[in-house]
């Protein structure tokens, strides 16, 4: 029996969660579910300067919204905590000391100023900069005297010559010459472990079996492998997934507009659509385009992740969102649309049954034209509020002749007292009137639509009329007739 797979998503709470991070989290999640393993969330919050409570909340909220539930981590608990790196710092000291004692790491007394001067010099001379290993050659005596003097120091890992190969599940074998790695810092002068050191210890202690992360970490991997070996930890499998880029093919950033997961939520992207879209960025399964989470968990396979970076293009996301919106039940659509109706002030905080019913009907009528939930208010206003004006372009076309006013009024008398006021009964009335007037149905339908909705486009006219209601239709038709007369 193989060891249970354990993967982790380890964001640092230095900013909101963006689509790239979400995609990394998703692939980890899918891998865990696919292999029957555990998905762990660890917060890398050791950079107190840049970490914030707010970013933390955004990350948790974003993951939860996407449905990427973590098996272990903040608010979920687990037996390999703590899950905040800031609370794990004591765990590192033993390992630091061991490396130093075993001579695999050494104290370096070079100051930041010295080093940056050295680097500046190298850059000025067009050489590449690499730490020279000056302090590696300190004699025991020199070390002792610096220690006595209480000089500040960092701990550097003593890289030994050779080649380190990363056996990557998506990229295959990638080898690095150790000579190109300088003696990197593993403990900062304040005693805190650096990222490279901390991840290794954390991942090892948490029993992480597969490290799935962005390709930007690939070049750090040989250093980490060296550390795993030095510490005697079992190596995890690595999988470096391609980066997500902006349309200009540079790494996606705020510059490219909306990249925050929560901003898509606010625009009314459904989490299922976001998940589906993200999954298809770097992964695919034949010609199939639409996958729900269950299918994804079932079919996901890290070996099928492709190596090339993908451009984040929301066209397809919008289409997918439309697909998912159309697949919603009336109740689900109402629940999802409610915040938008509320925010637009179209319905009260605690709507009565009649309003709820009407809202559901309205949403049903616009369901197939939605791409974002945020489009809802604009598409349904006229069901709730009498039009305040008419789209000029449409008025120009349909509201220019006095006959139109006559016809609108004739329709009013047709409609008066109609009972029940149903689409299938309204339709013949309108069509018959058009016939009687010897005009095509459209010639009447268009002005009526404009009169009732103020728009040139709307859901089917007869269904729209039914929902607006007989009385209100009559009022609107009369107002429009009046408007036309004044205009001509």
Partner RNA sequence: GGCGCUGUCGUCUAGCGGUUUAGGACAUCGCCCUUUCACGGCGAAGGUCGCGGGUUCGAAUCCCGCCAGCGUCACCA
Smallest separation, CB 443 to RNA (Å)? 9
Site string for RNA, 329-368 (x = CB under 7 A): ---------------------------------------x
Q: Among residue numbers 210 through 229, which ones bind RNA (CB under 7 A)? A: 215-220
Q: How far is the CB of 40 from RNA (least distance, A)?
A: 15
| Greatest CA separation for the chain | 111
172-201 residues in contact with RNA (CB under 7 A) are 172, 174-177, 180, 184-185, 188-190, 192, 194-196, 198
Binding residues among 132-161 for RNA as defined by CB under 7 A: 152, 154
Known catalytic residue at 254: yes
* Nearer Cβ to RNA (69/180): 180
Structure tokens given for 77: 């608990």
Q: How far is CA 113 from CA 76, 116, 146, in A?
A: 44, 5, 18
Own/partner contacts of 168-172, CB < 8 Å, gap of 24 or more, are 168/218, 168/221, 168/238, 168/239, 168/240, 169/210, 169/237, 169/238, 169/239, 169/302, 169/303, 170/239, 170/240, 170/241, 170/242, 170/302, 170/303, 170/305, 170/306, 170/307, 171/218, 171/240, 171/307
Least distance to RNA, CB of residue 157, Å: 11
- φ and ψ at residue 398, rounded to 5 degrees: -110, -15
Site string for RNA, 28-47 (x = CB under 7 A): ----------------x-xx
Count of residues binding RNA (CB under 7 A)?
82
**Options 36, 150, 286, 392; binder of RNA; rule CB under 7 A:** 286
Closest to 413 in 3D by CA, of 439, 394, 432, 400: 432
In the complex, the smallest distance separating the C-beta of residue 364 from RNA, rounded to whole angstroms, is: 12
Q: How far is the CB of 118 from RNA (least distance, A)?
A: 10
Both tokens of residue 296? Answer: 């994804």
Instruction: Identify which of residues 2 and 303 has a Cβ nearer to RNA in the complex.
Output: 303
The Cα–Cα gap between 340 and 253 comes to 28
Stretch that binds RNA, among 209-217, 225-233, 259-267, 345-353 (CB under 7 A): 209-217
Q: Exactly one of 59, 60, 461, 467 binds RNA (CB under 7 A); which one? A: 461
User: From CA 228, how far away is CA 113, in angstroms rounded?
Assistant: 31
- We find the least distance from the C-beta atom of residue 111 to RNA, in angstroms, to be 5
Is position 284 an interface residue for RNA (rule: CB under 7 A)?
yes
In whole angstroms, what is the distance from residue 477 CA to residue 409 CA? 7
Which one, of 255, 258, 297, 254, lies nearest residue 275 by Cα?
Answer: 297
User: Annotated catalytic residue: which of 229, 254, 288, 307?
Assistant: 254
- Per CB under 7 A, contacts with RNA among 384-443 are 441-442
Smallest distance, RNA to C-beta of residue 195, A: 3
Q: In sequence order, which ranges of 162-283 are alpha helices (DSSP H)?
A: 195-205, 221-231, 261-267, 271-279
Nearer to RNA, 231 or 342 (CB): 231
Which residue number, 269 or 310, has a Cβ lying nearer to RNA? 310
Binding mask 235-254 for RNA (x = CB under 7 A): -------xx-x---xxx---
447 counts as binding RNA under rule CB under 7 A: no
Cα–Cα distance, 184 to 226 (Å, whole number): 11
Handedness of CA 330, 336, 337, 338 (dihedral sign): positive
Using the minimum distance from each CB to RNA, give the nearer residue, 37 or 282: 282
Q: What angle do CA 346, 350, 353 make, to 5 degrees?
A: 90
The one among 167, 313, 332, 378 contacting RNA by CB under 7 A: 313
Name the residue among 99, 110, 112 with its Cα closest to residue 132. 110
Contact status: 316 vs RNA (CB under 7 A): yes
Give catalytic residues, as residue numbers. Answer: 254
């Amino acid at each position: 029996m193989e060891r249970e797979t354990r993967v982790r998503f380890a964001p640092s709470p230095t900013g909101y969660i963006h689509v790239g991070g979400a995609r990394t989290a998703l692939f980890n999640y899918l891998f865990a579910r696919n292999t029957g393993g555990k998905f762990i969330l660890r917060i890398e919050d050791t950079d107190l300067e840049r970490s914030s409570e707010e970013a933390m909340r955004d990350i948790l909220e974003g993951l939860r919204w996407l449905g990427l539930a973590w098996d272990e981590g903040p608010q979920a608990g687990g037996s390999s905590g703590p899950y905040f790196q800031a609370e794990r710092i004591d765990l590192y000291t033993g390992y630091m000391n061991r490396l130093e004692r075993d001579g695999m790491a050494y104290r370096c007394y070079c100051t930041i100023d010295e080093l940056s001067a050295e680097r500046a010099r190298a850059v000025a001379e067009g050489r590449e900069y690499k730490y020279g290993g000056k302090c590696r050659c300190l004699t025991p005596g020199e070390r002792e005297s610096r220690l006595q003097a209480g000089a500040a120091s960092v701990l550097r890992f003593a890289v030994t010559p050779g080649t380190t190969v990363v056996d990557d599940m998506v990229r295959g074998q990638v080898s690095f010459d150790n000579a190109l790695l300088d003696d990197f810092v593993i403990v900062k002068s304040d005693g805190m472990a650096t990222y490279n050191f901390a991840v290794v210890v954390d991942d090892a202690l948490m029993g992480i079996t597969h490290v799935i992360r962005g390709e930007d970490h690939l070049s750090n991997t040989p250093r980490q492998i060296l550390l795993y070996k030095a510490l005697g930890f079992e190596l995890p499998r690595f999988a470096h997934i391609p980066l997500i880029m902006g349309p200009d093919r540079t790494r996606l950033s705020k510059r490219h507009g909306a990249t925050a997961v929560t901003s898509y939520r606010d625009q009314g992207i459904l989490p299922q659509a976001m998940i589906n879209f993200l999954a298809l960025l770097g992964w695919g399964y034949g010609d199939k385009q639409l996958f729900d989470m269950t299918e994804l968990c079932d079919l996901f396979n890290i070996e099928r992740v492709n190596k090339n970076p993908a451009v984040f293009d929301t066209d397809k996301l919008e289409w997918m969102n439309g697909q998912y919106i159309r697949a919603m039940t009336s109740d689900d659509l109402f629940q999802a649309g409610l915040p938008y109706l509320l925010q637009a002030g179209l319905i009260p905080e605690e709507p009565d049954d009649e309003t709820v019913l009407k809202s559901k009907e309205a949403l049903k009528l616009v369901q197939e034209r939605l791409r974002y939930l945020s489009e809802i208010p604009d598409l349904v206003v006229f069901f709730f509020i009498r039009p305040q004006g008419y789209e000029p372009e449409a008025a120009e076309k349909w509201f220019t002749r006095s006959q139109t006013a006559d016809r609108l009024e004739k329709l009013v008398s047709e409609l008066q007292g109609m009972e029940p006021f149903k689409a299938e009964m309204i339709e013949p009335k309108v069509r018959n009137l058009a016939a009687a007037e010897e005009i095509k149905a459209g010639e009447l339908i268009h002005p009526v639509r404009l009169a009732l909705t103020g728009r040139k486009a709307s859901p089917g006219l007869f269904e729209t009329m039914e929902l607006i209601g007989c009385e209100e239709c009559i009022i609107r038709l009369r107002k429009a007739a009046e408007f036309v007369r004044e205009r001509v």
